[in-house]
């Protein structure tokens, strides 16, 4: 799921020097997966990612899940469950999928897991198709 070289998106844009530079792959079931190691420059508490960065990872996965269906959407509502601290500088797995769609409305889910598969954070969101 490549982006143009001029994309400045904080989550995935290659042209944003201060961004996360996330790359997503399309899974066989239509969900999306990213395998980032987010550096300590995005920490809140030492050793752990800032809550806003965690929300960004989850939001980005949901956005890419709708994009994988050929949709252009924007976040309308985002609900995050911070279950465990998310370590910085460690391999993570970020997943996103569309749960259901009705017209312009798309209910999407995402989650962050550590290298051992332990669930660290999850989110649900409503994304709206834009014209």
Please identify every residue annotated as catalytic. 59
Q: State how far the Cα of 81 lies from the Cα of 76, in Å rounded to an integer.
A: 17
Q: State how far the Cα of 32 lies from the Cα of 99, in Å rounded to an integer.
A: 13
Query: In which element (H, E) is residue 63 found?
Result: helix 51-67
Q: Hunting for tokens 């989650």 — which residue is that?
A: 111
How would you list the strands of the sheet with 73-82, edge to edge? 25-26, 32-34, 92-102, 105-114, 119-129, 73-82
Beta bridge partners of 80: 123
């Amino acid at each position: 799921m490549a982006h143009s070289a001029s994309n400045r998106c904080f989550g995935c844009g290659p042209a944003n020097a201060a961004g996360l530079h996330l790359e997503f792959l399309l899974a066989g079931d239509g969900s999306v997966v990213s395998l980032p190691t987010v550096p300590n420059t995005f920490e809140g508490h030492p050793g752990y990612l800032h809550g806003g960065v965690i929300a960004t990872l989850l939001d980005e996965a949901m956005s890419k899940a709708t994009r994988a269906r050929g949709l252009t959407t924007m976040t309308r509502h985002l609900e995050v469950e911070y279950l465990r601290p998310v370590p910085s500088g460690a391999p993570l797995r970020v997943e996103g999928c569309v749960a259901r769609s009705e017209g312009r409305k798309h209910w999407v889910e995402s989650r962050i897991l550590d290298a051992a598969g332990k669930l660290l954070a999850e989110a649900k969101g409503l994304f709206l198709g834009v014209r």
